[in-house]
Amino acid sequence: MTIIEKIRPAGAVAARHGESAGACARASTLPNPAARIVDVRDLRKTYGSGEHANHAVRGIDLAVHAGEIVGVLGPNGAGKTTTISIIEGLVPPDAGSVRVFGEAITARGAPERMRARIGVSMQNSVLPPLLTVRELLDFKALLHPAPMAAEALLERLGLAEKAQTQFRHLSGGQQQRLVLAMALVGNPDLLFLDEPTSQLDPQGRRAVWDLLIEQRQRHNAGMLVTTHQMEEAERLCDRVLIIDRGKIIAEGAPRALISTHCPERTLEFLTRPGTDLAFLGEIAAGEPDAAGMCAVRARPANVEAALAELIARQTRGALVCEDMRISIQTLEDVFLKLTGRGIRS
Ligand code: ATP
């Protein structure tokens, strides 16, 4: 479990949840179905044949609306890249239909007039090694009618000092930032982002998420983002499709998926060994730490009432209690519950 809330009054916790999962609050406004900019029906793709057949995509339906960030979340080999590559027109499907901005995508890819409206960042993009960051970005900007200012974009992505560096001399993370800058520079209406922050440090990831959310707000851009980072899906996406073995196994706003499939919350705190905690029901307690305190986890039926009782007992000196938290579950737990496997396995 990675989302942990320090205990505060119930209202404050709820407010914090609204703020940290801003995407969920946004998702409570249903997108206009007329503004469906990506519409995928019953997509299928098998690589190889006979006993070597690999059914990478097995009947995927998905939609992206203007102003909506949709995440495709799943473990390695789930079919995320294949799906996004088919939608971009890079890989031909065996069956199914793909429409982008209302037009069919065929084996020849997106029609020319549509390309200026789309930004793409694929994993391991190969760019001319001798061109500099600035040359590559300026070249990409030339293809669009109303590009963003290159300097500001490089600054936001932490590449300003690398503007004159050749592509071949960038680190993996810097190359990924440049590919993202090139996807964004044309102010696209639709972005396809394949694991856009997989090589970035935590600070870089947050900068990219902020930039993408800003682009959606300013430009009403829709985005389809593949990821296997829970935090990315929870913070960035309005809606998440959890995909496993080529099929969608769950779909919804991140918080809605968690509250539907894994609503249990855990009360965690430190206390002295031997403390009577029978009022919490079943508990899991660790060994005493250097300060002589044990970590305790409990899943009482009414977590608020249990917390109130814990605080009441502490106030009247009946027990010693520190670092109280309520932890909620994550999309990782949802995946585990639905498949019996971890998302990274
Ligand atoms: P990752 O998170 O590792 O990027 P993914 O969810 O994007 O994985 P895909 O890259 O779509 O998964 O791969 C789905 C399956 O299809 C995998 O089993 C992969 O080995 C296979 N596959 C992908 N591309 C090809 C290809 N060009 N030829 C043969 N098999 C392929």
pLDDT tens across 223-259, in order? 999 998 888 999 999 999 999 999 999 999 999 999 9
User: Cα–Cα distance between 271 and 118 in angstroms, integer?
Assistant: 55
Mean per-residue pLDDT of the chain: 86
Residue bearing the CA closest to ligand 1, atom 10: 81
pLDDT tens across 161-197, in order? 999 999 999 999 999 999 999 999 999 999 999 999 9
With vertex at residue 39, the alpha carbon angle to CA 36 and CA 44, rounded to the nearest 5 degrees, is 165
Residue bearing the CA closest to ligand 1, atom 30: 47
Atom of ligand 1 nearest to the CA of 81: 7
Question: How is residue 142 annotated by DSSP?
Answer: H
Q: Which residue has the higher pLDDT, 62 or 339?
A: 62
Asked whether the predicted pLDDT for residue 33 surpasses 80, the reply is no
Residues with CB under 6 A from ligand 1: 47, 54, 56, 74, 76-82, 228
- Report how far ligand 1's centroid is from the alpha carbon of 229 (Å): 17
Asked whether the predicted pLDDT for residue 9 surpasses 60, the reply is no
Atom of ligand 1 nearest to the CA of 78: 6
User: Cα–Cα distance between 153 and 166 in angstroms, integer?
Assistant: 18
Atom of ligand 1 nearest to the CA of 57: 14
Work out the average pLDDT over 252-268.
Answer: 92
Asked whether the predicted pLDDT for residue 160 surpasses 80, the reply is yes
Residue bearing the CA closest to ligand 1, atom 1: 76
Query: What's the pLDDT band for 322 if we cut at 50, 70, 90?
Result: very high
Query: What's the pLDDT band for 23 if we cut at 50, 70, 90?
Result: very low
CA-based end-to-end distance of the chain: 16
> 332, 281 in Cβ contact below 8 A?
no
- Tell me what pLDDT residue 20 has: 36
Residue bearing the CA closest to ligand 1, atom 18: 77
- Tell me what pLDDT residue 270 has: 95
